[in-house]
Chains A and B, each alone.
Chain A
Amino acid sequence: MSHLFEIENLAVAFDTQRGKLQAVRGISLNISEGESIGVVGESGSGKTVLSRASMGLLRGKRVSRTGSVRLNGTEMLTLSDSEVRELWGTQIAMIFQDPMTALNPVRRIGSQFAESLVKRLGMSKDDAATRTLELLGQVRLPEPEKVIKKFPHQLSGGMRQRVMIAMAIACSPKLLFADEPTTALDVTVQAQVLDLLADLRKSLNMAMVIVTHDLGVVAGFTDRIAVMYGGEIVELATTKDLFANTKMPYTGALMESIPRLDRKRGDRLEAIGGAPPDPTLDRTSCGFAPRCKFAQDKCRNEHPELVDAGNGHLYRCFYPLGVK
């Protein structure tokens, strides 16, 4: 079966003063049409670099990208700037955590919105203006005719994120990357935006990758979840299976460290001690071993490969949870 989007052994490294910073280390991930995938990890786990590299961004001189990223069979990594720009918007789109910096602060919403429709779809200015109002209505912005006359700073964070979502879906992309789309929003607004994204995904049959640090955000929202740690996928499973049969001690520790409203109040939260591995070093052991309660000698001396538990549930651990 061919997939909409195929990431194969993708590695991304940056030249820095401290040496080669290996942000993403050999990631493979397939995304089918209409599928919703969560990529979960802490700061520095490489989740944002993964999504940007997948978009065909990160094209600078100091970045080295190896492996393959294919959209409907087209290799993204070797495309020229202008070729990859053709795919943005129409095939693949992205929304960011901070919609304020993603919007042009000195142009009114209506004019910056219509520009993308005119440039990308060749619409006339009048058609673009009408379509803008339609799209802003589709993301449930109240009074779109007022919104188009405003500057970004006159909108709240939630409204700005809705504008970004409307821009992202303007040319009906097949795949939407959402990088921490609700992290900057209040919890009630977050719930509104997540509901909106779920509805749009269904009505547009769009595949979606949600990159987040919040397991709670992806739990009710995705078909599959990839957990990242130190630039690698350490666990990949269907959302149900990941929570019901957690294999990777890191995933387990992450779940335990979250204060939860639906659980009894304990005296202490289960913190994960220590810090993530140095991204400039080669990996000769399990990256999580120094922080892992279950680590043994083998974990400190050998780097574990991804193992399939049999049902497509992948994990990167010598001594997985729940297996004697």
Chain B
Amino acid sequence: MAGSGKAHLRNSGSEVLRVDDLVIEYKSSGGEKVQAVSGISLDILAGETLSVVGESGCGKSTLAKGILQLVGIASGSVALNGTDLTKLGSNDLRQARPQMQMIFQDSISSLDPHMKVKQIVEQPLKVWNRGTEAERSQKVNDLLTSVGLDPAVVAERKPSEFSGGQCQRISIARALALEPKLLVCDEPVSSLDVSIQAQILNILQDMKTRYGLSLLFISHDLSVVRAISDRIVVMYLGKICEVARPDALSESPRHHYTHALVSSVPIPDPTATKKRAVLQGEPPSPTNPPSGCRFRTRCPAATELCATEEPQLREMGGGDFVACHHPRA
């Protein structure tokens, strides 16, 4: 698993985002280079939700930051609406930023505690000098209403007066103020209660339709991702294992790692008779990844081939792709 390749790219010409062979490296304290993202390619079409799932340390958040040009890139390209962001100078890059916005896992700490809600949501509009004061204030009211908050009640209050779910609504409103094309959501619901989680996921769906957004959704939670995505990318140790439609992924995962992930998800039903394929051990260190397929050290189907040759992503039919020498039937 954990292979390279671009078989899954659709070359439709109308991608909002296209990432080619993206490599992101960090230097460890010993001076060693750690590849957090090792040659990832992906594309997102207009109005599509693409999710990236994987465990802690697989590089999914680094991938999100790399796409937004928030961390330095070692090689590869990131094209937003056809413009390669990695080639832009700092001023051009700044001009491109309103098109891509982000919401974070910890919504409370991503809001300035000293600002009132209306100032928080208005801030991007002010920075970019959009509209008159009256127009901006109208826009703020519209945004707050669209995420299910009553402007008359919340506008004058500060973030500390709100719960985690409400703060996430505020950060969604702020992210949408500049009418971005791409919204990157990094674990937006993982610190919320399930009842609130459902509210936020529904709002994201509504906003996607309403503003014609494309979503890049980063999460460790397969059940959440399955509920809202058009396409899912599974990552392991900086590489892609599998790209598939949500139902195909949960019903018949092709990659052995995806299979282990799917069968580890606890099912809220005591009568469920699911055989769990519990993975042993933990992912190896990214400073010294295994040769060939990066999953082979924990894979039940690994052979010698997996140690010598890195599997490439290949189509398994129906628009599903897997990077594995011995995929599951």
Which residues on A are within 8 Å of B, measured CB to CB?
42-43, 142, 156-159, 186-192, 194-195, 213-217, 219-220, 239-240, 243-244, 253-255, 257-262, 265-266, 268-273, 275
User: Across the interface, do B262 and A254 meet the contact criterion of CB distance under 8 Å?
Assistant: no
Q: B142 in the interface, Cβ–Cβ < 8 Å?
A: no
Output the least CB separation between A231 and chain B (Å). 16
Q: B267 in the interface, Cβ–Cβ < 8 Å?
A: yes
Using CB atoms, name the residue of chain A closest to B222.
A261
Q: Which residues of B contact A269 (CB under 8 A)?
A: 198, 201-202, 227
Using CB atoms, name the residue of chain A closest to B197.
A257
Q: Which 5 A-B pairs have the closest CB atoms?
A: A216-B266, A272-B195, A271-B198, A269-B198, A259-B227
Contact of A188 among B264, B268, B270, B271 (CB under 8 A): B264
User: Across the interface, do A243 and B271 meet the contact criterion of CB distance under 8 Å?
Assistant: yes
Q: When chains A and B are docked, how far (Å) is the Cα of A11 from the Cα of B13? A: 63
Q: B161 in the interface, Cβ–Cβ < 8 Å?
A: no
Among the stretches B32-40, B275-283, B316-324, the one at the interface with A is B275-283
Interface residues of B in 180-207 (CB under 8 A from A): 193-199, 201-202, 205
Q: B231 in the interface, Cβ–Cβ < 8 Å?
A: no
Using CB atoms, name the residue of chain B closest to A244.
B271
Interface residues of B in 242-290 (CB under 8 A from A): 246-247, 250, 260-262, 264-272, 274, 276, 278-282
Q: When chains A and B are docked, how far (Å) is the Cα of A244 from the Cα of B221? A: 26
Most buried by A among B55, B195, B196, B282: B195
- Can you list 27 A-B contacts (CB < 8 A)? A42-B194, A187-B220, A188-B279, A190-B264, A190-B266, A191-B264, A191-B278, A191-B279, A194-B266, A195-B276, A213-B194, A216-B265, A216-B267, A219-B267, A219-B268, A219-B270, A220-B272, A240-B270, A255-B268, A257-B197, A259-B198, A261-B265, A265-B247, A268-B205, A269-B201, A269-B202, A271-B202
Q: B308 in the interface, Cβ–Cβ < 8 Å?
A: no
Q: Which residues of A contact B262 (CB under 8 A)?
A: 261
Interface residues of B in 129-184 (CB under 8 A from A): 163-164
User: Across the interface, do A268 and B267 meet the contact criterion of CB distance under 8 Å?
Assistant: no
Q: Which residues of A contact B8 (CB under 8 A)?
A: none
Q: Which residues of A contact B198 (CB under 8 A)?
A: 257, 259, 269-272
Interface residues of B in 4-50 (CB under 8 A from A): none
Contact of A213 among B164, B193, B226, B227 (CB under 8 A): B193
Indicate whether A239 sits within 8 Å of B264 (C-beta atoms), given known contacts A42-B195, A265-B246. Answer: no
Output the least CB separation between A317 and chain B (Å). 17
Count of residues in B whose CB is under 8 Å from the partner chain: 43
Q: When chains A and B are docked, how far (Å) is the Cα of A60 from the Cα of B9? A: 60
Which residues on B are within 8 Å of A, measured CB to CB?
55-56, 163-164, 193-199, 201-202, 205, 220-224, 226-227, 246-247, 250, 260-262, 264-272, 274, 276, 278-282
User: Across the interface, do A43 and B270 meet the contact criterion of CB distance under 8 Å?
Assistant: no
Contact of B267 among A192, A213, A261, A272 (CB under 8 A): A261
Contact of A195 among B265, B271, B278 (CB under 8 A): B278
Q: Which residues of B contact A190 (CB under 8 A)?
A: 264, 266
Contact of A254 among B194, B272, B278 (CB under 8 A): B194
Q: When chains A and B are docked, how far (Å) is the Cα of A163 from the Cα of B121? A: 45
Q: When chains A and B are docked, how far (Å) is the Cα of A240 from the Cα of B227? A: 26
Contact of B226 among A158, A261, A268 (CB under 8 A): A261
Most buried by B among A156, A220, A266: A220
User: Across the interface, do A216 and B195 meet the contact criterion of CB distance under 8 Å?
Assistant: no
Indicate whether A240 sits within 8 Å of B55 (C-beta atoms), given known contacts A190-B264, A271-B199. Answer: no
User: Across the interface, do B264 and A187 meet the contact criterion of CB distance under 8 Å?
Assistant: yes
Given contacts A219-B268, A257-B194, A269-B227, 7 further A-B contacts (CB under 8 A): A254-B194, A258-B268, A259-B198, A260-B268, A271-B198, A272-B198, A272-B199
User: Across the interface, do B270 and A186 meet the contact criterion of CB distance under 8 Å?
Assistant: no
Q: When chains A and B are docked, how far (Å) is the Cα of A229 from the Cα of B246? A: 33
Contact of A261 among B55, B194, B223, B270 (CB under 8 A): B223
Q: When chains A and B are docked, how far (Å) is the Cα of A100 from the Cα of B246? A: 35
Q: When chains A and B are docked, how far (Å) is the Cα of A269 from the Cα of B194? A: 10
Indicate whether A262 sits within 8 Å of B269 (C-beta atoms), given known contacts A187-B222, A187-B264. Answer: yes
Q: Which residues of B contact A255 (CB under 8 A)?
A: 268
Q: Which residues of B contact A239 (CB under 8 A)?
A: 270
Output the least CB separation between B145 and chain A (Å). 16
Q: Which residues of B contact A257 (CB under 8 A)?
A: 194-195, 197-198
Using CB atoms, name the residue of chain B closest to A259.
B227
Q: When chains A and B are docked, how far (Å) is the Cα of A265 from the Cα of B227? A: 6
Contact of B55 among A187, A213, A243 (CB under 8 A): A187
Q: Which residues of A contact B269 (CB under 8 A)?
A: 219, 243, 262
Q: Which residues of A contact B195 (CB under 8 A)?
A: 42, 253-254, 257, 271-272
Q: When chains A and B are docked, how far (Å) is the Cα of A316 from the Cα of B190? A: 29
Output the least CB separation between B264 and chain A (Å). 4
Using CB atoms, name the residue of chain B closest to A42.
B193
Q: Which residues of A contact B264 (CB under 8 A)?
A: 187-188, 190-191
User: Across the interface, do B282 and A158 meet the contact criterion of CB distance under 8 Å?
Assistant: yes
Using CB atoms, name the residue of chain B closest to A253.
B195
Contact of A243 among B194, B223, B270, B274 (CB under 8 A): B270
Q: Which residues of B contact A273 (CB under 8 A)?
A: 199
Using CB atoms, name the residue of chain B closest to A140.
B280
Output the least CB separation between A16 and chain B (Å). 15
User: Across the interface, do B272 and A259 meet the contact criterion of CB distance under 8 Å?
Assistant: no
Q: When chains A and B are docked, how far (Å) is the Cα of A215 from the Cα of B265? A: 12
Q: Which residues of B contact A156 (CB under 8 A)?
A: 282
Q: When chains A and B are docked, how far (Å) is the Cα of A259 from the Cα of B276? A: 19
